[in-house]
A = this chain, B = another copy of it.
Amino acid sequence: MTQRKLRLGAFIMATGHHIAAWRHPGSQIDSGVNIDHYIEVAQTAERGLFDQVFVADSPGIGFRGGEEALRRQGRVSYFEPVTLWAALSAVTKHIGFVATASTTYEDPYLLARKFASLDHISKGRAAWNVVTTSADNVHGNFGLDAHPDPALRYERAHEFVQVVKGLWDSFEDDAFVRDAASGVYFDPAKLHALNHVGKHFRVKGPLNLERPPQGYPVIVQAGSSEDGKELAAATAEAIFTAWTSPAEAQAFYGDVKGRMAKYGRRPEQLLVLPGISPVIGRTEEEAQAKWAELQALIHPAVGLAAIAPFWPGEDVSRWDLDAPPPYIPEAPKGIQSRTQVVLELARRERFTVRQLYEYLAGARGHWVVVGTPAQIADRMQEWFENGAADGFNVMPPVLPASLNEFVDLVVPELQRRGLFRTAYEGRTLRENLGLERPGNAFAQAQRAAA
Known interface pairs A86-B86, A201-B143, A208-B59; A110-B106 also in contact (CB < 8 Å): yes
- Chain B residue nearest in CB terms to A57: B208
Known interface pairs A143-B203, A202-B143; A35-B123 also in contact (CB < 8 Å): yes
Query: Does A338 reach chain B (CB closer than 8 Å)?
Result: no
Closest 3 CB pairs of A and B: A140-B204, A86-B86, A80-B117
Known interface pairs A35-B123, A70-B188, A123-B35; A176-B77 also in contact (CB < 8 Å): yes
**Residue contact B186 to A120, C-beta cutoff 8 Å:** no
Query: Does A165 reach chain B (CB closer than 8 Å)?
Result: no
Chain B min CB distance to A380 (Å): 31
Query: Does A277 reach chain B (CB closer than 8 Å)?
Result: no
Query: Does A67 reach chain B (CB closer than 8 Å)?
Result: yes
Q: Interface size for chain A: under 10, 10 to 19, 20 to 34, or 35 or more residues?
A: 35 or more
When the two chains form the complex, which single residue of B116, B123, B208 contacts A61, counting CB atoms closer than 8 Å? B208
Chain B min CB distance to A299 (Å): 4
Query: Does A71 reach chain B (CB closer than 8 Å)?
Result: yes
**Residue contact B188 to A141, C-beta cutoff 8 Å:** no
**Residue contact A203 to B141, C-beta cutoff 8 Å:** yes
Query: B-facing mask of A218-239, CB < 8 A → 1, else 0?
Result: 0000000000000000000000
Query: Does A401 reach chain B (CB closer than 8 Å)?
Result: no
Query: B-facing mask of A23-41, CB < 8 A → 1, else 0?
Result: 1110001100101000100
When the two chains form the complex, which single residue of B23, B59, B84 contacts A180, counting CB atoms closer than 8 Å? B23
Which A64-112 residues have a C-beta within 8 angstroms of B? Answer: 67, 70-74, 76-80, 82-84, 86-91, 105-107, 109-110
Query: Does A158 reach chain B (CB closer than 8 Å)?
Result: no
Known interface pairs A91-B91, A141-B204, A185-B22; A210-B35 also in contact (CB < 8 Å): no
Query: Does A178 reach chain B (CB closer than 8 Å)?
Result: yes
When the two chains form the complex, which single residue of B70, B78, B87 contacts A208, counting CB atoms closer than 8 Å? B78
